[in-house]
A = this chain, B = another copy of it.
């Protein structure tokens, strides 16, 4: 920690890592100590360096951001993690934040916002970009799906029929229909295809 805040970057795009690293290393109060290109490397890097802040992309090969957050916080409850992703409306964000991630950023954020987010998180102050905060409020109002419904939704999104879904989940077709109906109601969709569109927009599923 020669230079104040130590940072580990985890992102699968070399270009993005370079950009962040350049940005961070230009500051005189922070420094990148390691980079990771996938989820497993991210965990390993954290273990090795114990940085002040872990900047983490949500979408990565091998192991996605959500599970990295889980694993790291399990072992190090005081870890300070800043989530960064391309997409707003990603449902995973909320999962991360409720699991204890300290902040959340969109990749299209301006430089200054990124840097101040890192500084905030390094001092254990939560940082949430305004766009995300707004989304969070919107989300509150909307009904959330149960785990089982998410299971069904995933299969619906793959184009499976009710009968097929029933077989895969070892339930009857009638039950599958019940779940689908609940999904349609909660997502305010008329057809299963529209439900998939809505769910995708909200980041409930990843096609």
Nearest to A84 among chain B residues (CB) is B15
Q: Decide if A111 is an interface residue (CB 8 Å cutoff).
A: yes
> Is the pair A191, B161 in contact by a Cβ cutoff of 8 Å?
yes
Q: Decide if A189 is an interface residue (CB 8 Å cutoff).
A: yes
> Is the pair A159, B197 in contact by a Cβ cutoff of 8 Å?
yes
Q: Decide if A19 is an interface residue (CB 8 Å cutoff).
A: yes
Q: Which residues of B contact A17 (CB under 8 A)?
A: 19
Q: Decide if A158 is an interface residue (CB 8 Å cutoff).
A: yes
Q: Decide if A72 is an interface residue (CB 8 Å cutoff).
A: no
Could you tell me the dominant secondary structure of chain A's interface residues? helix
> Is the pair B159, A189 in contact by a Cβ cutoff of 8 Å?
yes
Q: Decide if A190 is an interface residue (CB 8 Å cutoff).
A: yes
Report how many copies the assembly holds: 2
Q: Decide if A47 is an interface residue (CB 8 Å cutoff).
A: no
Given contacts A19-B17, A19-B19, A193-B196, contact A12 B158 (CB under 8 A): no
Query: Which of A22, A23, A201 has the most B CB atoms < 10 Å from its CB?
Result: A22
> Is the pair B191, A159 in contact by a Cβ cutoff of 8 Å?
yes
Nearest to A61 among chain B residues (CB) is B108
Q: Decide if A30 is an interface residue (CB 8 Å cutoff).
A: no
> Is the pair A196, B159 in contact by a Cβ cutoff of 8 Å?
yes
Nearest to A111 among chain B residues (CB) is B14
A22 vs B23: C-alpha distance in the bound complex, in angstroms? 10
> Is the pair A12, B111 in contact by a Cβ cutoff of 8 Å?
no
> Is the pair A156, B22 in contact by a Cβ cutoff of 8 Å?
no
> Is the pair A107, B13 in contact by a Cβ cutoff of 8 Å?
yes
A-B contact pairs, 11 of them (CB 8 A): A14-B109, A14-B111, A18-B19, A19-B20, A86-B86, A157-B193, A158-B197, A159-B189, A193-B193, A193-B196, A196-B197
